[in-house]
Amino acid sequence: MKQIIQDYKTGLLQNAEVPFPECRDGGLLIRTERTLVSAGTEKMIVELAKKSLLGKALARPDLVKQVLTKMKKEGLASTLSKVKSKLETPMPLGYSAAGVVLEVGRGVKGFLPGDRVACAGMGYASHSDAIWVPQNLCIPVPEAVTWEEASFVTLGAIAMQGVRQADSRLGETVAVIGLGLLGQLTVQLLKAAGCRVIGTDIDPTKNAIAIKSGADFAGEGGGFQRACLEWTGGQGVDAVIITAATSSNAPVELAGAIARKKGRVVVVGSVGMELPRKPYYEKELEFRLSTSYGPGRYDPEYEERGHDYPYAYVRWTEQRNMASFLDLVEQKRMQVKELITHRIPFENALHAYDLIEGRVKEPYMGIVLEYPQTPDRYPFHMSLKLAADESQQKAASAPILGLIGAGNFATGVLFPHLKRLNPRLRAITTATPAKAKTLAVKLGVEVAASSAQEVLADPEVNTVFIATRHHQHAEQVVQSLSAGKHVFVEKPLCLNEAELARIVETYDGQTVLMVGFNRRFSPLVADLKRFVEGGRRPLMMQYRVNAGPIPQDSWIQHPEEGGGRIIGEVCHFVDLLIYLTGSLPVKVFAETLSLPNADPSARDSLAVTLKFMDGSVGTITYVATGDPSFPKEYLEVFAGGKIGILNDFRELSLAGGGKVTRTKSSGQEKGFAQELDAFLAAVREKKSPPIPFEELVATTQVTFLIEESINRGLPILLQGDQSE
């Protein structure tokens, strides 16, 4: 199928061939009929992508700061690899669409195949032959509403939320600054609400369109300001809605000048927001921001996981705003067809961007993309076969890899190392079809697949790499093992005891199963282990991790999706201590901080004590409240007359017999390349797994018992402590 994507690194726009999307749980698979080009937002995205690297940095100083902080912690090479991966991730354009439901995902209610729907969301309702959209970003299309009218649903909801934030009431006078498509819809909504509307735009053509849309006055400069005073008896307008798109502060300054005392100013568009103190203070103006489509926007619980807000307490969610807008369209109180200036066949979609970027000198307002109506349009080809690299195919016949999942960690860390090792890459799949296609081309993968099932069903794939979100790991591991395939899965192995039991039951030892516990493969850790093995046992180990905060609304923190930080990351440090002792844990005790008001972030800082079967003791101090500019990891190991200190995988100090030696690395040596090399060698040479299965199980069990120990306030035994 085809999709409009942009290369964020080069700015190249293309209507590219990509794999067909999978119908995932919690959403709808939709055959697209119409999409609306959002000239303001999409123009801004396209122009930013076409800037030089310096231009992008100047436009997003917040991201530059994050990169510099990461560079201090992880080193130049690692950071640049991640930044490069991020820049090379393609961006699907578009976020307002309408089409026919092809398939309904598990857990979705109220929709059936064949339903007409309108949908919203950047990254979801994109310009594409077919799309997958979460259920709370979809609404049914009333029978009397046409496809092209329905395609306005996202812009309509944004305008409606702006009007709601302005609290505009019957008989009030409201000014609209910026009369692009969003401003025109705002004008119509205000008129439908019984308001007097005064609009302005620097483009006289748009002022004329606003008059046709129902504005009582629309003009530029002094004429606009005079109208705001004359039409209100010199008091000023009750509310101002800013729908302009400019980095200038002028719209906010203008709003302060024309609003009445105790009036309301609402920002919907992207504008400068340095408030001039004098008018805002003296008039005691209310300054409000309108968050896109409405309540629920940017909330993963609402948008991604389908949890609606109670109707009685949040009357107008983004989904309900979308439905309300189409209801007005059905009643003919919104005339969106009058705003359409261009209807462009999807195969010629790039012409729309020639218009909004000014390469084609034509006036435009609403640009609708029309999709082909041929009866054989569905089913599409599910996967996309690419030109194979013959030299790669002639390499080793095993392993032959299928890659499932391609998040930031996989693309920024794992895949660059994997490519250098040059295995045969047969297939790749990820949730974003365009990303699967781009990565397939970049890495030399033969097939960009639509789903994990396609990868697992491919008879040529004998080895699976799993780098999906944590809640998918267990099922994908079990399916891969059941299909007789070798498995590399990023940590964690699974999220609960039931999932672990299924994996233990499924694993027969005939294939290689490995979890991405890379730290034990670091060359510096290898030197440390050799050194302390020459000392007297048992070991005393102290591991401090300056982990830093992760927002509580991150998917990593979600108990069912990410499992939290103990299961998701502390497992790394448990594994390393197991590796250094060569012994399994027998007892676990853990405590967290006590913060006021039951602050959920308290659980992100904890101290863990592990007792091992050989008598060794290890402590893990995992801290989320430190300073991110300080090194992340610091490990001390004491082995009867020997001391080893590993500082953030950059420096290793070894002390014994009155002598201290230090080894420094040019960058962080966390063992990523070595772990992948060890795994592929085990598959290729039919050797034992690089990490014994019982150690994978023990590490996973320990993370579950850390959680239990925190909850019970007691030490937890794994098995009898044979050292006592």
Mean pLDDT of 580-586: 96
Confidence of residue 627 (pLDDT cuts 50, 70, 90): confident
Q: What is the pLDDT of residues 191-222, one digit of tens each?
A: 999 999 999 999 999 999 999 999 999 998 88
What is the percent of the chain with per-residue pLDDT over 90, rounded to a whole number? Answer: 78
Strand ranges of the sheet holding 2-6, from the earlier edge strand across to the other edge: 13-17, 2-6, 91-92
Residues near 306 by beta carbon (within 8 Å), at least 6 away in sequence: 26, 107, 108, 134, 135, 136
Query: Which tokens go with 314?
Result: 């949040």
Say whether pLDDT at 585 is over 80.
Answer: yes
Is beta strand 400-404 parallel, antiparallel or unpaired with respect to 463-466?
Answer: parallel
- Tally the residues of the chain: 724
Query: Which tokens go with 673?
Result: 């390349």
Mean pLDDT of 532-544: 89
338 backbone dihedrals φ, ψ, rounded to 5°: -65, -15
Say whether pLDDT at 82 is over 80.
Answer: no
How far lies 641's CA from each of 276, 544, 658, 660, 661, in Å? 68, 22, 9, 12, 15
What is the percent of the chain with per-residue pLDDT over 70, rounded to a whole number? Answer: 91
Q: Is residue 585 within 8 Å of 698, Cβ to Cβ?
A: yes
Look up residue 286 and give its amino acid: E
CB atoms within 10 A of CB 230: 11
How far lies 178's CA from each of 9, 201, 226, 354, 651, in Å? 31, 5, 17, 22, 57
Say whether pLDDT at 60 is over 90.
Answer: no
Mean pLDDT of 129-154: 97
Mean pLDDT of 85-102: 87
Mean pLDDT of 600-618: 92
The span from the CA of 126 to the CA of 94, in Å, is 4
Q: What is the pLDDT of residues 429-453, one digit of tens each?
A: 999 999 999 999 999 999 999 999 9
The span from the CA of 686 to the CA of 511, in Å, is 8
What local confidence, expressed as pLDDT, does residue 485 receive? 96
> Mind listing the domains of the chain with CATH numbers?
2-151+335-371 (3.90.180.10), 155-289 (3.40.50.720), 389-518 (3.40.50.720), 523-667+692-717 (3.30.360.10)
Give the containing element (helix H, strand E) for 97.
Answer: strand 96-104
Residue 342: closest CA among 366, 325, 311: 366
Query: Which tokens go with 618?
Result: 């290890």
| Start-to-end CA span in the chain (Å) | 65
Q: Is residue 213 within 8 Å of 189, Cβ to Cβ?
A: no
Say whether pLDDT at 75 is over 90.
Answer: no
- Assign 206 to helix, strand or coil: helix
Q: Is residue 35 within 8 Å of 96, Cβ to Cβ?
A: yes
The DSSP code for 413 is I
Residues near 212 by beta carbon (within 8 Å), at least 6 away in sequence: 338
DSSP secondary structure, 485-524, as one string: -EEEEPSPS-SSHHHHHHHHHH--SSS-EEE--GGGG-HH
15 backbone dihedrals φ, ψ, rounded to 5°: -95, 90
What local confidence, expressed as pLDDT, does residue 388 receive? 53
CB atoms within 10 A of CB 401: 26
